[in-house]
Amino acid sequence: MTDYFEPWLKYKHPIVRQLAFCIASPNIIQHLPDELEIKNRFEVHDTGFWQQQYIDFQTRLDQLDHDPTPLIEFLQQLKSTRLGLRFEYLFWFWLQDEANQHYQLIQHSIQIIEAKNTLGEIDFLVRNQATKQIEHWEVALKYYLGESNLQLMHWYGLNRSDTLLRKLNHFSKKQFQFTQALDFKIEKRLAIMKGQLYLPNLADLTVLPSWINTQHRLGQWGHHIETGYYRLQRHEWICPDLEQSSPVAQWWCNGLYHNTSTLQFYMYRQAPLVFSFDINA
């Protein structure tokens, strides 16, 4: 598939491009894998949902691209350099912004405490203005490299003990265990998993697992050097800047690379250290 919905590429300011990506990009999975053992059921939004959220927020994004001050000031609350937290704060800005007419943000980052013990934390508690339902949202920015036959257990994060399977199990068993928060009954649970999946070079695209969202651009990974790629800065893992941020690579080190001509992403790893990246680590 070569025709992707990638409207974030039209914006000039890096932080607005990142916000547009957070809103418009589809989840990296399009449904829960059959291999996943479900304890507490949850859902993922379909691609059309995110496209509509972008369309309805587009005027506000255009305004921010002209003057990003409100967005910049909001993110100044964030003291950490972790991209996972940056992603979460971008989502927070969108949900609390008055231009977002679809959701009322009830609260962000709710600790669930029982008898002085912290049982867990809820990323976002929101009211769906159309259905009037109370929804629990968990957000994650993820980068996984597929190996072997690309089945669920073979997608690895920065620490190889952190797999896509483990993250989905954590959603089901831990993060979505709660039935109420702040005296609200939780009526729907939704996981927002954005970022990118990387296929090994020469992977057969006709035999991808059905849960992989092919409406999302897939990257490649490997330990050999490609031509025409430049290395992305850390914040560009969310979305590359409008202007190329470094020269075309002559010397390669582990990291994410981008080709402005093809818009392809390549995750380079020195053999035999075959890892991928979990920005939330």
Is residue 265 within 8 A of residue 217, CB to CB? The reply is yes
Does position 274 have pLDDT exceeding 50, yes or no? Answer: no
What is the distance between the alpha carbons of residues 3 and 215, in angstroms, rounded to a whole number?
A: 9
Asked, for residue 181, whether it belongs to a domain, the answer is yes
What is the distance between the alpha carbons of residues 169 and 121, in angstroms, rounded to a whole number?
A: 16
| Span 68-77, average pLDDT | 97
Residue 2: what pLDDT?
59
What is the distance between the alpha carbons of residues 261 and 276, in angstroms, rounded to a whole number?
A: 24
Asked, for residue 74, whether it belongs to a domain, the answer is yes
Q: Render pLDDT for 38-66 as a digit per residue (tens, 0 to 9).
A: 999 999 999 999 999 999 999 999 999 99
Domain region containing 186: 7-196
Residue 281: what pLDDT?
43
| Span 267-275, average pLDDT | 73
Asked, for residue 255, whether it belongs to a domain, the answer is no
Q: Render pLDDT for 101-152 as a digit per residue (tens, 0 to 9).
A: 999 999 999 999 888 888 999 999 999 999 999 999 999 999 999 999 999 9
Q: pLDDT-derived band of residue 71, with 50, 70 and 90 as boundaries?
A: very high
Asked, for residue 27, whether it belongs to a domain, the answer is yes
Query: How many domains, the chain?
Result: 1
Asked, for residue 86, whether it belongs to a domain, the answer is yes
| Span 198-206, average pLDDT | 81
The two tokens of residue 259 are 């080709």
The two tokens of residue 81 are 């350099």
Q: pLDDT-derived band of residue 276, with 50, 70 and 90 as boundaries?
A: very low
Residue 162: what pLDDT?
84
User: What's this model's pTM, rounded to 2 decimal places?
Assistant: 0.93
Asked, for residue 213, whether it belongs to a domain, the answer is no
Rg (CA), the chain: 19
Is residue 100 within 8 A of residue 129, CB to CB? The reply is no
Asked, for residue 232, whether it belongs to a domain, the answer is no
More confident residue, 201 or 14: 14
Q: Render pLDDT for 157-201 as a digit per residue (tens, 0 to 9).
A: 767 888 999 999 999 999 999 999 999 999 999 999 999 999 998
Does position 268 have pLDDT exceeding 50, yes or no? Answer: yes
Q: pLDDT-derived band of residue 275, with 50, 70 and 90 as boundaries?
A: very low
Q: What is the 3-state secondary structure (H, E, C) of the chain?
A: CCCCCCHHHHCCCHHHHHHHHHHHCCCCECCCCCCCCCCCCCECCCHHHHHHHHHHHHHHHHHHHHCCHHHHHHHCCCCCCCHHHHHHHHHHHHHHCCCCCCEEEEEEEEEEEECCEEEEEEEEEEEECCCCCEEEEEEEEEEEEECCCCCHHHEECCCCCCEHHHHHHHHHHHHCCCCEECCEECCEEEEEEEEEEEEECCCCHHHCCCCECCCCCCEEEECCCCCCCEECCHHHHCCCCCCCCCCECCCCCCEEEEECCCCEEEEECCCCCCCCCCCCC
What is the distance between the alpha carbons of residues 197 and 133, in angstroms, rounded to a whole number?
A: 31
Asked, for residue 12, whether it belongs to a domain, the answer is yes
How many CA atoms lie less than 13 Å away from 12 in the CB half-sphere? 7
